[in-house]
């Protein structure tokens, strides 16, 4: 797919498809970095506030990508990303660099890469690590795999949304960045569910949750993520930085990837079920530490 890329130059315009919890601040930060940004979201009203930041909000994916130097997809899952790109197809130019940042998993990667190949696009596998806060501050970690020329094109894009870019491969279709993202997410979800279950057990046993946090404070079992997630839960401020229903989706992608590799992931599978129960109890749009409620019959 690299043969379609003309002499590379840093992107001056970018289309952002998907302006949810992550895509919205990413588009805003890209505009703040001086790029011409056009954004599309399935529900236009959610993208409309971006106009105040100089982003042109479009009605269709095709309008967003028309003439763009680069396209960035940040949608719910692989099928949603593929659907948006198919809608954009009439306006996509051969040689356009596509940074695919949706957490799509390995199962969807083949179809996404095949679409890029058929459309003459330069495919860059580019998931990000980080949730709402680092997305807001432009400090995401971009995990990327793609050909050398595409790196020049995407430099201002990745610099606009992230604090660091880690290139882990030269062929996006091989999914090196996606595989790393799944490994990292498996740890994030395990820590989140571990925090939620420990606090649920504390409640069940009549233990002050702050006593638990104090017992590990400053030691090898302490970590910033434990404190942050516990604070969200104990304060009742469960505004999603990583929604429970999305965590379930990611957990199932992790289990699926393990199955493809012959690796049994019992903890990830159990975690997916906890996220499912919490979502069923009405906590799907809250922060994923709401898996806490899955420990009780009444959520």
Output DSSP code: residue 221.
Answer: T
Round to whole Å and give the CA distance between 210 and 228.
13
Backbone angles phi, psi at 56, to 5 degrees: -90, 115
| Token pair of 145 as six digits | 């795999």
Per-residue buried b or exposed e for 105-144, using 16+ beta carbons within 10 Å of the residue's own CB: bbbbbeebbebbeebebbbbbbbbbbbbebbbebebbbbb
| Token pair of 131 as six digits | 């949730």
Assess whether 229 carries a catalytic annotation. Answer: no
Contact (CB, 8 A) for 231 and 156:
no
Which is it for the CA torsion 256, 267, 184, 102, positive or negative?
Answer: positive
Backbone angles phi, psi at 83, to 5 degrees: -60, -45
Catalytic one among 181, 203, 229, 249?
181
Contact (CB, 8 A) for 40 and 67:
no
Show the CA angle centred on residue 288, arms to residues 101 and 163, nearest 5°. 40
DSSP string, 88-152: HGGGPPTT-EEEE-S--HHHHHHHHHHHHHHHT-EEEE--EE--HHHHHHT-EEEEEE--HHHHH
Active-site positions?
181
């Amino acid at each position: 797919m690299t043969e379609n890329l003309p002499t590379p130059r840093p992107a001056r315009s970018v289309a952002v498809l998907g302006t949810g919890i992550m895509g919205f601040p990413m588009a805003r930060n890209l505009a703040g970095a001086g790029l011409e940004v056009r954004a599309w979201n399935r529900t236009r009203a959610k993208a409309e506030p971006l106009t105040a930041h100089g982003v042109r909000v479009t009605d269709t994916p095709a309008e967003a990508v028309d003439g763009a130097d680069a396209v960035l997809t940040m949608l719910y899952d692989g099928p949603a990303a593929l659907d948006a790109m198919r809608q954009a197809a009439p306006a996509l130019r051969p040689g356009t660099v596509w940074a695919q940042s949706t957490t799509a998993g390995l199962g969807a990667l083949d179809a996404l890469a095949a679409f890029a190949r058929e459309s003459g696009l330069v495919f860059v596998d580019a998931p990000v690590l980080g949730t709402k806060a680092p997305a807001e501050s432009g400090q995401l970690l971009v995990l990327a795999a793609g050909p050398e020329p595409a790196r020049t094109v995407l430099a201002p894009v990745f610099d606009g949304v992230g604090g660091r870019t880690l290139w882990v491969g030269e062929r996006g279709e091989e999914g090196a960045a996606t595989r790393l993202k799944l490994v990292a997410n498996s740890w994030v979800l395990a820590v989140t569910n571990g925090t939620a279950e420990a606090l649920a057990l504390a409640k069940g046993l009549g233990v002050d949750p702050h006593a638990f946090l104090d017992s590990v404070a400053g030691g090898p079992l302490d970590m910033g993520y434990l404190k942050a997630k516990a604070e969200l839960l104990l304060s009742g401020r469960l505004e999603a930085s990583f929604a429970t229903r999305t965590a379930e989706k990611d957990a199932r992608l992790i289990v699926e990837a393990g199955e493809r590799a012959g690796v049994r992931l019992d903890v990830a599978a159990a975690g997916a079920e906890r996220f499912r129960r919490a979502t069923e109890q009405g906590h799907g749009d809250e922060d994923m530490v709401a898996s806490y409620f899955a420990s009780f019959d009444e959520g």
